Chains A and B, each alone.
Chain A
Amino acid sequence: MPAIGAVQPVHVATWIEAGTRELAAPSVKQRLAAIRHLFDWLVTGQVVPINLAASVRGPRHVVTSG
């Protein structure tokens, strides 16, 4: 990728998918949240036109208790 503007959802999804193989689901979700927030901030600053990480879904994490 030449610049941050060239990031596509598939890049984020691939990175997330790779993360799920070595990290727990909440950690991967946190990383995805970081990228989402960062791109949101960059959209606000008109660095990139749209948040391409917004459409990427993270892993599912279920906690059953009680």
Chain B
Amino acid sequence: MATPCGSVDRAAGRVPAYALDRSHEVQELNNPQPVIEGCVLRHIADPPACGQRIDRHVDPGDADISGRRGQVPGSFLCIDRGGLRVLAGGDLVNELVPFRSSTLPELVAAAGERAGMRFLEFFAANIRNPHTRRAYARAADEFLA
């Protein structure tokens, strides 16, 4: 049943890319300075290999996007290639990188880059619980699609 504002293929169990929290997992970073839609992933001194797991706790460091510095232990918030990626601690630089804007809901993408970034920040920085993040992302995706 289509909702007035669009719908999600619930039968397929689709979860928005920005809801996928793959903690402690860093995916492939082929190019240390990829430029993706105007956003630059700055300075990754030692990009981890594809699928490499990092078991240590990570200090969020200087680039604190959440306003909760020091309260996000080991927060590798790696949210798929289609969404956003936050790399934290060690030799890595904390970074919030929007990837393809097509992953954003249409209404958010139409509102501009700032809205898109803020939208992604909501899931990355404001919601701790991965279950909540997933549920909220599904609801937002369905409403705003």
Residues of A within 8 A of B (CB): 1-7, 11-12, 14-15, 18-19, 21-22, 30-31, 33-35, 37-38, 41-42, 45, 47
Contact = CB atoms under 8 A, between A and B. Distances in A.
Given A2-B110, A35-B143, A38-B140, A11 B118 contact: no
A19 B4 CA distance: 11
A38 B107 contact: no
B68 interface: no
A12 B126 CA distance: 22
A54 to B, nearest CB: 15
A47 B118 contact: yes
Interface residues of B, number: 22
22 contacts: A1-B5, A1-B107, A2-B110, A3-B115, A4-B107, A4-B110, A5-B111, A11-B4, A15-B4, A18-B3, A30-B139, A33-B136, A34-B135, A34-B140, A35-B143, A37-B122, A38-B136, A41-B122, A42-B118, A42-B119, A47-B114, A47-B115
Given A35-B143, A38-B140, A42-B119, A15 B5 contact: yes
Contacts of B107: 1, 3-4, 6-7
B80 interface: no
Nearest to A10: B4
Contacts, number: 66
Nearest to B116: A47
B127 to A, nearest CB: 8
A22 B118 contact: no
The interface centre, meaning the residue of B111, B122, B136, B139 with most chain A CB atoms within 10 A of its CB, is: B139
Interface in B101-145: 107-108, 110-111, 114-115, 118-119, 121-122, 126, 135-136, 139-140, 142-144
B1 interface: yes
A21 B1 CA distance: 10
Interface string B1-24: 101110000000000000000000
